[in-house]
Chain A
Amino acid sequence: EAAVTQSPRNKVAVTGGKVTLSCNQTNNHNNMYWYRQDTGHGLRLIHYSYGAGSTEKGDIPDGYKASRPSQENFSLILELATPSQTSVYFCASGDGGFYAEQFFGPGTRLTVL
């Protein structure tokens, strides 16, 4: 069974609307991450968490919030979605510090019209 799952897999939103992307992991990892993937930019870190109740800003946090209510769940929230946030979003989990591999979910394709 997939250890990192994301929902929804596809989402169309309107400009100014609120969007919540959800991620669940069964790896029991402390660390979780949200990335966006865009052509020419690769994977860029939006927010991360090192445990339940914690969220930290990554490299491109503007316009995004994150929530980590439990070890298993990590959400990415777009309070006021904009077309520039159209992208593919990946959640990942990992453990063991800078040496550790990350396990990615299948991604969510978000289109903001």
Chain B
Amino acid sequence: GDSVTQTEGQVALSEEDFLTIHCNYSASGYPALFWYVQYPGEGPQFLFRASRDKEKGSSRGFEATYDKGTTSFHLRKASVQESDSAVYYCALGHDTNAYKVIFGKGTHLHVLP
């Protein structure tokens, strides 16, 4: 079945460091790919999505490019801030089940001042 695999566990960076969180997917065709962010004490919130090969999604300085060749949708940010500390989820939606989204296990980003 469809699945999403992302950088596991925790990532610790200092302010102004470059961020990459890896996300790879397994699915046929062209699934929709998402990134969600969850701040402490809150529910996840949508960051952005992409649904076509080479399409770039972006929001709040974060970006990711849909790459069908490598089945990837890696999250990147050029210069992280302490306020970016959160859990990031990569997710996949597919037309084989229009009601479901499959989430990765989440990556906890800690940004040190």
Residues of A within 8 A of B (CB): 4, 31, 35, 40-45, 48, 50, 56, 58, 90, 92, 94, 97-107
Contact = CB atoms under 8 A, between A and B. Distances in A.
A100 B101 CA distance: 9
Chain B contact residues: helix, strand, loop or mixed: strand
A104 B38 CA distance: 10
B94 interface: yes
A90 B94 CA distance: 21
Contacts of B31: 98
A18 to B, nearest CB: 25
A94 B46 CA distance: 11
B45 interface: yes
Interface of B: 31-32, 34, 41-46, 49, 51, 89, 93-95, 97-101, 103-106
Contacts of B98: 97-98
Contacts of A102: 44, 46, 101
B103 A98 contact: no
Chain A contact residues: helix, strand, loop or mixed: strand
Contacts of A97: 93, 95, 98-99
28 contacts: A4-B43, A35-B103, A43-B44, A43-B106, A44-B103, A48-B99, A48-B100, A58-B100, A90-B44, A92-B43, A94-B101, A97-B93, A97-B99, A98-B93, A98-B94, A98-B95, A98-B97, A98-B98, A99-B51, A99-B93, A100-B93, A101-B49, A102-B46, A103-B45, A103-B46, A106-B41, A106-B43, A107-B42
Contacts of A41: 105
Given A43-B103, A45-B100, A48-B99, A99 B43 contact: no
Nearest to A105: B43
Nearest to B106: A42
